[in-house]
Structure 1
Amino acid sequence: MTQRPLPHERQPANEGPRAGARNRAALVAAARVIYAEQGLNVPLSAIAKRAGVGQGVLYRHFPDRAAVVIAVLEENVCQIELASAADGADIARLLGVLTWHQTESAAFVSVLHADGAGRRSGVPDCAVPLSRRVERALRKHLPAGHPLAARPDDLMIAVAMVSGAVAGPTREHRERRALAAWRLLGVDVGPVRPFGR
């Protein structure tokens, strides 16, 4: 015989779709932290555990590793695209937004090392379209005569070089290194901050 709850005992509410949205957000937040700490090749079970959900919940939202990577990195790329579309956008401001994301997200740095030929240094194939979107957003504001406009590949090679310099224990330290790398390349960078702040 099953025991029915007494009227004064509260049952947890079934939150339906709200729980799904909350679980997805928790998974993306957990993946962002874990990717920053351990890179893009961590086990998906570690992401589910950090988010406080079962692996089945993870797979309900993300059918494979690539889907998780894209969900996490999409925010970084969208910020750069939004900055590119904003009034008064110029290459220096865009490079400031890009540099902020480089200093905040080790996983995003991996995306910036993706090239059109596919995988490179452990970068998943799904990162290539994200890298191309970043390049399009930047190139749209790259004036003729700019140091990064001399040859077609210069822009993303410079971005990858700066990404390679972004290392250190704190965001401030990583920012100083990124700005020093831009300076060595002879490139002016606007304020290092996320778009909209």
Structure 2
Amino acid sequence: MHSTASPRAETRQNRGPAAAADNRRALIAAAREVYAEGGLAAPFSAVAKRAGVGQGSLYRHFPDRTALAVAVFEDNVRDLEEYTAAPDRTIQDLLDRVVDQAVVSTAFIQLVTADLTDPRVATLGERFHAVVERLVERDHAAGRIGAHVEIDDVTMATGMLATELARTDAAARPAASVRARRLFQAAFAPR
């Protein structure tokens, strides 16, 4: 009896959980690219296509755009946690990293900030708050910022910076970043 299956299909093996983890990583990377290029207007299906996985895999991992945005920001928050863990990191270092992340995550900023009460988003907010708290305490102790600066001030500043960069034309983002950072530095300086 002759098989109608292609030779490739016959040799294909189910990689199980390893494939699922690889697919998830590929989807997150693809989402960063797709939404950086096309913004929120980009079709959700384009993420699966760019990642080289099926639509079913996309929806199994991320049932909606918010779930995908949360996954992107979870990676961002994990990066901030690791980056700022070094004892010499400052609020200025945090702002540098937020700028780097905001430039490639602009569309996701709109998604994540659309519903801050979503439990998936709230958890990320709590983790980010802990990063900022550690840096504010460190910078207060070192005299790099004034005693008047509170954790919520820095959290607000980073949110303002990320949101402004998301709304700014890509070519103008570096100048907008410098201007905003100058304002924050003046506001946070010891008095």
* 1:126 aligns with one of 106, 120, 124: 120
How far apart, CA to CA, are the structure 1 residues paired with 2:147 and 2:110?
20
Contact 2:132 2:155 in 1 (8 A): no
1:80 Cα deviation from its structure 2 partner:
0.7
1:82, distance to aligned residue in structure 2 (A): 0.6
CA distance in 2, matches of 1:124, 1:35: 21
Residue identity in the other structure for 1:74? E
Q: Output aligned runs, 1:43-122, within 5 Å.
A: 43-107=43-107, 109-110=109-110, 114=113, 119=115
CA–CA distance in structure 2, aligned partners of residues 59 and 92 of structure 1: 38
Counterparts in 2 of 1:33 and 1:4: CA distance versus 1, 3 Å: closer
Show structure 1 runs of 5+ residues with no match: 189-197
1:181 shift after superposition: 0.7
Does 68-77 or 10-19 show the bigger shift? 10-19
Of 144-153 and 62-71, the range deviating more from structure 2: 144-153
Percent identity, aligned pairs only? 36
- What does residue 137 of structure 1 align with? 131
Going from structure 1 to structure 2, the CA distance change for 1:98 and 1:108 (only over 3 Å counts) comes to farther
Change (3 A) 1:157 1:4: closer
- Partner residue in 2 for 1:168: 169
Determine the structure 2 residue equivalent to 1:192. Answer: none
In the alignment, the residues of structure 1 paired with residue 24 and residue 108 of structure 2 have an alpha-carbon distance, to the nearest angstrom, of: 20
- Residue 26 of structure 1: how far off its partner (Å): 1.9
Amino acid at match of 1:88: D
Partner of 1:159: 158
Tell me, in whole angstroms, the C-alpha distance in 2 between the residues paired with 1:105 and 1:30. 12
SS of residue paired to 1:140: helix
* CA 165–57 in structure 1, closer or farther in 2 if over 3 Å, else same: closer
Structure 1 residues 24, 135: CA separation in 2 closer, same or farther (over 3 Å shift)?
A: same
Residues 76, 108 of structure 1: 8 Å contact kept: no
2:162 aligned counterpart, secondary structure: helix
Q: Is the 8 A contact 1:30 1:47 kept in 2?
A: yes
In the TM superposition, residue 141 of structure 1 has moved relative to its aligned partner by 1.3
Which has the larger share of helix? 2
Provide the C-alpha distance between the structure 2 equivalents of 1:152 and 1:26, rounded to a whole number of angstroms: 35
Q: Deviations over 1:122-180 (max 9, x none)?
A: x966333223322220221113472595355322222222223312224xx42331121
Equivalent residue, structure 2, for 1:193 = none
Q: Could you tell me which runs of 5 or more consecutive residues in structure 2 were left unpaired when the two chains were aligned.
A: none
Aligned-pair CA distance for 1:89: 2.1
Aligned residues: 177
* Deviation larger for 77-86 or 147-156: 147-156
Bigger shift: residues 72-81 or 48-57: 48-57
